[in-house]
Structure 1
Amino acid sequence: MWVTAKECAGVGGFPTDKNNARNRLVKLASGQPDMQRKREGTKAFEFHISILPPQTQAALLKKTGKVKVGEQVINLPKAKAEKTYCRESLWASWGKTNDKTKQKAHQALRCVQAVKALEQNGINRMHAYQTVCDEYGIPLSTLRRHVAKVKDIDECDWLPALLTKHFETAQLRKVEHFAHITPEAWEFFKGDYLRLERPTMSVCYERLKKVAVQNGWAIPSLKSLSRRLEAEVPIQARVMLREGEHALHQMFPPQERSVLELHALEWINGDGYQHNVFVRWFNGEIVRPKTWFWADVYSRKILGWRCDLSENTDSIRLSFMDVIERYGIPKHITIDNTRAAANKWMTGGVPNRYRFKVKPDDPKGLMTMLVGERNIHWTSVILGKGHGQAKPIERAFGVGGLEEYIDKQPINEGAYTGPNPMAKPENYGDKAIDADAFLKSIALGVEMFNQKSNRNNEVCRGFMSYEEAFNASYQSAPIKKATKEQLQMLMLSAEACRVSRHGTITLDAGGTLAGRKNRYFNEVMMNYIDQKLVARFDPIKLHESVEIYTLNGVYLCTAECVEKVGFGDTQAAREHKRKRTQFTKANKAAAQAQREMSALEVAAMMPEPEEEVIPEAKVVEVYRPVAIGNTAAAIRQQEQIETEEDLEANYQASVASLMAQRLKNRL
């Protein structure tokens, strides 16, 4: 590196004057003629940097953007200038264009990269342009335009910078340029078309043409209106105005939940399914029955079911009993907030039941006592409609689900109704299948549904069936089995009754026949007079006995049915008298046993009454009579005589009035 006196002046301790700096350089180069030479094109002399002091050398190298490492001088990296463009904007335009425009940008990028590579190898720019034009067959003006587009742009951002604007401009023109329409006509068309009745666009256009003639509106074609509607009214607004808020809610992406942290039987969910089959029920009535299914959330296996005429508490209770008896007690339950499930006998005690009136003295429901009130979960009701996405069992009712495995079985041929009135089969209503045969078809369909292999979900992973996934987890899962008493509670229905003053209860579940109801009695209930107890019973054995529990589920006793007897039945009267005498004697002895001290002994232990001590009066008032002499006494005597005469007169007047009234009413 060679420097002149002008370049060294004032740098690194050198004199600031140019002449003095030259003299200093000549002195340093004396005796070294090869360290100085004349600079080409000028009259000045230049000196090799090695003759300068290290301090001056470092200052000069730093000034020129270089640094000396050992015997080698290298250039320092130049600080990059701040970007004068927006990378986000460039790449945003890349995502808005079509594939054809992107292919053109890739072709232009290859040409620009070829030009830059030739320049870095020392080839003149014009020669590089000509070489690339000949190689790729593009005009010189086009290539120079491509190179100009990427000036001052990082190479990583060249691709979006080389995009042509034709497609983007066309899209903007398409949005901004529609056929002319009178604003009033446009508002009329939107008000007619965007309604919940969902009229067709063609009919709305016919009405628009008729009104436009009367008002002198300018309207375009139907296709132009359709394009304008799609461009100006978002799809969300169209769905909201034509299909309603619930349809708009359904557009939002559903939430996906993972069940891998669960195990078999930890969480179950249930729902009712209306079969599309005509069934001759046990009472001879032809109906479409409804089955309540319980399914495991982890594996999706159907664990239990009960079929009935409708979705009711008994079918839910008995199917729940089947699940508990066969597999065990689940930890969590998810059900709909229906009248059959969200009643006090099944889920009583859950504070957020939202069905019926929740009272503080409601008995705890069966599910509440078995899994706990905090482990019962309700599916949400959104905008007046159920939220089926919250229950995995809903997917078993969809396409390829239980309808295929149960309703469309060969045994149900001729009884299948179709999923809706518009999809009735040709043999609709040919026959009705017997109830026993239909129940067998349900059992067979559920078995096939659980055993179907290659289920594609999170747990089955495309090769296991629901049953295999359930069994694999069930073997190592902590399962809580039900006791005999818990199963007995599920087998029996329940009713809350108030205990009468005689220690009896009356059930309303059996109805009333000729004004008669069943009464039940046990001496234990005498301790709960005028309180509510829960009677659990078998509906077909109402004339035998019922099991009595407290409202919070504590077992008390078994109450026997008390039947009415004939009015003249002396034998029944003697039996009743004997039982009443036994009851009285037993309770009298028990009552006497409660008192170890008689009333006389209690009275003897009472203390004697103490004589009252009257305190002495400190202030004494002198007595002064109101009057003195016979006048006062005479006055008092006169007042007493007048009072007695008045009473006598009033009495005689009352008797006379009574006699007159009796004579008046005589015929």
Structure 2
Amino acid sequence: MKDFAPLKDWWTVAELAEARLPDLPATRQGIEAVAKSQDWRAQPGRARRRQARGGGWEYHWRLLPVRTQRQLLAEAGQVEEVAAPGADRAERWRWFEALPEATKKVAADRLAVLREIESLTPVSTKYLAVAMVANRIGKSERTIWNWFGLVEGVDPADWLPYLAPRHRAGANAAPKAEAAKDFYHWLLADFLRLEAPSFRSCYRRVLRLCEHHGVAPLTERTAKRWLDREVPRVRQVFLREGERGLMKCFPPQIRDRSGLSALEGVNADCHKIDVFVTWPGFDKPIRPQIVAFQDLYSGKILSWRVDVDPNKVAVMSAFKDLLQNWGIPQHCLFDNGHEFANKWLTGGAPTRFRFKVREEEPLGVLALLGVKIHWATPGHGQAKPIERAFLDLASDVAKDPRFAGAYVGHKPDAKPENYMSRAVELEDFLAVVAEGIAEHNARQGRLSATAEGRSFDETFAESYARAPVRKATDEQLRLCLMAQQVCKLHKTHGRMTLHKNGYWSDWMNELAGQTVVARFNPEDLHAGAYIYSLAGEFLGYAECQEKSEFFDLASAQAAAKERSRHLKAQRRAAKELRPVSVGGLARELDKLPKRAEAQVDAKVVKLANLEEIRRLEQRQKGPLIARPMATPQTTPEQEAQLLDFAESFGTRKAELEPAQENARDRFFRAREIEARSEAGEPVGREEAAWYRRYSETPEYRSNLTIFDRFGADSIR
């Protein structure tokens, strides 16, 4: 193993000349000249007078050139790197990267001079090389030796940042002002909040707190620089503007549409047009809403509708125009508004943000057509390409000369001077909008990746001619014309009630009481309804049964004729269903062998008429036939009802005398009124009112049940 000599820290001129180290002269005179030119003795802590005999000066090895230092370290067996003066290597390069270009050029020029001198050293002395280069560039030798001093002990690969002008170096910067921690905490708490106060107002409030608590603050400008240095801008935006503000810090996603084809995907949205329009049925002019479907590949607006506000009827009508004119898209990108998330269109979509998704929810039109639904990020306009088309409509269509005086401005504080001076008629408005959309589609020079200078019409037509487009059938178009609603059919006859209209056909008897989906035209409720199962299966068509006038004989005759037709149809079906008649079945039973007759006691007693029964009962003070029968038990609520019934006639239960009317008398009294009413005999007003009240009591209903089952003698 090689023995290493200890590193010698201090060297005399004679020792340096004798050692013959690299980058140093080999004579005492040469080394003294280097020490004088580089002013070694002026370096504090690096030069000292020699204490031994003869005196003189000693120099620290850190003053020597870099290659000399490395050789001394290698001979001493030390592998540490030569320490760099000032900031460390990574920090110095970061600092240099932030310097202006002019300062970087100064450092680069200095480096070029030092590299040139280093290249001349092998064929000449360094002193002669410095003198030659200094004379050529017009600099003093002292200046060039100072540049060498800047990179002393630094790896040649890192010379560039150390050669930058010293007045830019971080080591020479003034000490930073400091304040108490409370000042920083108060300032962050006040400034970084969603109310987004100004920094000046926050600083004034914090300054009052510092004065009250005796805390040393920073100046306003220093505090602002400290906050910007310690808190990144993105974090400031998030804490002061929330998630919506944070989204602005990220550039919009660049989506490539070149891989799509015409009608492969569409997107839709609503836009309020900045024009006052006279709308039928409204006292004041309104700003209409337009709902439009745009092709994602080409950017062409394929269909649109205008209404007073965003609603599902307008969306369904615009989508129906899209299907009828162009075909069925494969994908739909929607805004998350209620008008698009409605169950008529997107029912059954599991990713809908609005409305609760239920298992029994009927499938919407898109699910039935096999269209995949995509939802744009709520509140994020960059996610919907159609917003760019609406920008053109707001600029071109809304400011059309034919709308002069009706334009309202794109925001409340941008109203024109002639605001609300006129309103446009609806027909004129629709004509200008249609013209503007046609011009928007036909305009040449579109710069999108798919248009490449062509119009949206040409881009769409070129791809549409070769794209596999699914055409909509009449049944599919009918689905788009129809709104849908879940209804329950009547439990006996199966009629469906929808928006106060009745819908019925004879086949609906088979589905009485079931839950179905009704699809109907919301603009014509009397056009009938198409009935579907919850799974989307078509069941049949139901006509609308319109209400008729009370004394409308024609409607009554038509209804009676319809019932007669239905009755005959049922009779024919019953006859076909029963090949053997009831009479034929009875004759077959009569042909069976007779069984031995058994002695049968009479079970039916012929009763006299009602008046005779009452007279006999009054004579005997009891029922004609004494038979142990179960007396119906009454609940406390029934007792209270009977008591109220008795009170209505001015008597109380406790005051009733045995000779007065009992439960049996009241029941047969009610039966007598019924008999007279059925026979057409007159019934008094008092009797009719009493009968209506009594017929609703539990006493009457229970006695009527006993009477029907066991006869009059069972009533107590």
Q: TM-score, normalized by length of structure 2?
A: 0.65
Read off the aligned partner of 1:243 and give its amino acid letter. E
8 Å CA contact 2:298–2:459 kept in 1: the answer is: yes
Q: How far off its partner does 1:531 sit?
A: 2.0
What's the CA shift for 1:593?
4.2
The answer on whether the counterparts of 1:364 and 1:553 sit within 8 Å (CA) in structure 2 is yes
Q: Does 1:528 align with 2:529?
A: no
- Given residue 518 of structure 2, which amino acid in structure 1 is its aligned partner? A
State the 1:152 CA deviation: 8.0
1:487 aligns with 2:477: yes
Q: CA deviation at 1:310?
A: 0.2
CA distance in 1, matches of 2:206, 2:257: 54
2:349 maps to: 350
The equivalent of 1:503 in structure 2 is 494
- Counterpart of 2:364, as a letter, is G
Aligned to 1:96: 98
Indicate yes or no: 2:221 matched with 1:231: no
Which among 415, 418, 436 is matched to residue 409 of structure 2? 418
2:503–2:529 CA contact under 8 A, matched in 1 = yes
Q: 1:542 matched to which residue of 2?
A: 525
Question: Which aligned pairs between 1:16-27 and structure 2 lie closer than 5 A?
Answer: none
Q: Deviations over 1:445-467 (max 9, x none)?
A: 22232233333332234x23333
Q: Would the aligned equivalents of 1:96 and 1:168 in 2 still touch at CA under 8 Å?
A: no
| Bigger mean CA deviation after superposition, 474-483 or 203-212 | 203-212
Asked if 1:470 is matched to 2:460, the reply is: yes
Equivalent residue number for residue 386 of structure 2: 393
Please list the CA deviations of residues 149-205 of structure 1 after superposition, one character each: whole Å capped at 9, or x if unmatched. Answer: 3878466x65456445542407x947x613x54443444344333333333333334
Structure 1 unaligned spans of 5+: 1-80, 509-516, 605-646, 652-657
Q: Which residue of 1 aligns with 2:310?
A: 311
Q: Identity of counterpart residues, as a percentage? A: 35
Listed one character per residue, the Cα deviations across residues 603-654 of structure 1 (whole Å, up to 9, x for unaligned) are: 99xxxxxxxxxxxxxxxxxxxxxxxxxxxxxxxxxxxxxxxxxx99xx9xxx
SS for the counterpart of 1:339 is coil
**Aligned match of 1:264:** 262
Change (3 A) 1:290 1:568: closer
CA 1:334–1:659: 2 relative to 1, 3 Å = closer
How much is the aligned-residue C-alpha RMSD, in angstroms?
A: 3.6
Give, in angstroms, the shift of residue 103 of structure 1.
0.6
Q: Distance in 2 between matches of 1:199 and 1:126?
A: 64
SS in 1 for 2:139: coil
Question: For residue 303 of structure 1, what is the amino acid of its counterpart?
Answer: L
SS state of the match for residue 540, structure 2?
strand
CA 1:664–1:196 in structure 2 vs 1: closer, same or farther (change >3 Å)? farther
Q: Which moved more, 1:532-541 or 1:359-368?
A: 532-541
Mapped to 2, the partners of 1:666 and 1:589 lie a distance apart of 58
- 1:19-58 to 2 correspondences below 5 Å: none
Evaluate the alpha carbon distance shift between residue 158 and residue 366 of structure 1 in structure 2; reply closer, same or farther with a 3 A threshold.
same
For 2:527 and 2:203, locate their aligned partners in 1 and report how far apart those are by CA, in whole Å.
Answer: 74
Match of 2:449 among 458, 465, 469: 458
The residue aligned with 2:170 is 169
**How far has the Cα of 1:362 moved from its partner?**
2.0
CA separation of 1:229 and 1:411: change in aligned 2, threshold 3 A: same
Distance in 2 separating the partners of 1:666 and 1:127: 151
Counterpart-to-counterpart distance in 1, 2:113 and 2:220? 47
- Corresponding letter in the other structure for 1:346: L
Return 5+ residue gaps in structure 2 as ranges: 1-77, 83-87, 590-626, 632-651, 662-716
Cα pair 1:115 1:128 within 8 Å, conserved:
yes
> Which one of 573, 582, 592 corresponds to residue 565 of structure 2?
582
Paired residue for 2:637?
none
C-alpha separation between the residues in 2 aligned to 1:579 and 1:377? 49
Describe the shift of the 1:577–1:415 C-alpha distance in structure 2 as closer, same or farther (beyond 3 A).
Answer: closer
Q: Which residue of 1 aligns with 2:287?
A: 288
Task: Report the 3-state secondary structure (helix = DSSP H, G, I; strand = E; otherwise coil) of the residue aligned with 1:453.
Answer: coil
Corresponding residue SS for 2:470: coil
The alpha-carbon distance between structure 1 residues 218 and 354, as it changes in their structure 2 partners (threshold 3 A), is closer
Distance 1:362 1:594, change over 3 A: farther
- Residues 351 and 598 of structure 1, relative CA distance in 2, 3 Å threshold: farther
1:299 aligns with 2:301: no
Paired residues of 2:489 and 2:511 also in contact (CA < 8 A): yes
Count of equivalent residues: 514
Q: In 2, Cα distance between the equivalents of 1:294 and 1:544?
A: 28
Question: 1:133-282 maps to which residues of 2 (within 5 A)?
Answer: 133-144=134-145, 146=147, 149=151, 153=155, 159-160=160-161, 162-164=163-165, 166-169=167-170, 173=173, 177-178=176-177, 180-282=178-280
- Rounded Cα–Cα distance in structure 2 between residues aligned with 1:87 and 1:471: 62
Q: Deviations over 1:295-340 (max 9, x none)?
A: 1112222222111100000111111112222222111001122211
Matches within 5 A, 1:52-131: 91-119=93-121, 122-131=123-132
Does the 8 Å CA contact 2:516/2:533 hold for their aligned counterparts? yes
Q: Contact 1:333–1:376 (CA<8 Å) still a contact in 2?
A: yes
Gap change, CA 1:214 and 1:593, over 3 Å in 2: same
Post-superposition Cα deviations, 1:551-605, rounded to whole Å, max 9, x if no partner, equal 333333332222344556666555444433432343344355456789969x99x
Q: 1:252 to 1:502 in 2, by over 3 A?
A: same
Q: 1:556 aligns with which of 533, 539, 543?
A: 539
- Given that 1:329 and 1:371 are in contact with CA atoms closer than 8 Å, whether structure 2 keeps it comes out as no
Q: Is the 8 A contact 2:521 2:527 kept in 1?
A: no
Q: Tell me the secondary structure at the aligned position of residue 104 of structure 1.
A: helix
What whole-Å deviation, never above 9, does each CA across 1:388-424 have from its counterpart, x for those lacking one? 22211123334xx221111111111111111222111
User: Structure 2: which amino acid aligns with 1:128?
Assistant: A
Query: Does the CA-based 8 Å contact 1:295-1:393 persist in structure 2?
Result: yes
Identify if the C-alpha distance between structure 1 residues 393 and 181 changes in structure 2 by more than 3 Å, giving closer, same or farther. Answer: same
Provide closer, same or farther for how the CA distance between residues 288 and 572 of structure 1 changes in structure 2, counting only shifts above 3 A: closer
Tell me the CA shift for residue 281 of structure 1: 0.9
Distance 2:79 2:156 in 1: 11
Give the Cα separation in 2 of the matches to 1:660 and 1:228: 95
- Conserved in 2, the CA contact under 8 Å of 1:524 and 1:556? no
Separation in 1 of the partners of 2:548 and 2:328? Answer: 45
Contact 2:362 2:534 in 1 (8 A): yes
1:377 aligned residue: 374
Equivalent residue for 1:330? Answer: 329
**Match in the other structure for 1:341:** 340
Whether contact under 8 Å (2:300, 2:460) holds in the other structure is yes
Contact conserved, 1:334 with 1:379, CA < 8 A, in 2? yes
Residues 313, 522 of structure 2: 8 Å contact kept: no
What SS does the aligned partner of 1:389 have?
helix
220-229 vs 337-346, greater mean Cα deviation: 220-229
Distance 1:564 1:308, change over 3 A: closer
Map of 1:44 onto structure 2: none
Matches of 1:83 and 1:295, distance apart in 2: 69
The 2-side partners of 1:192 and 1:459 are apart by 50
Letter of the 2:245 counterpart: A
Cα-to-partner distance string for 1:356-409 (whole Å, 9 max, x where unaligned): 23222222112222233xx1011233xxxx2222211123334xx221111111
Q: 1:189 to 1:87 in 2, by over 3 A?
A: closer
- Structure 1 residue 91: Cα displacement: 4.9
Q: In the TM superposition, what are the counterparts of 1:598-617 in structure 2 within 5 Å?
A: none
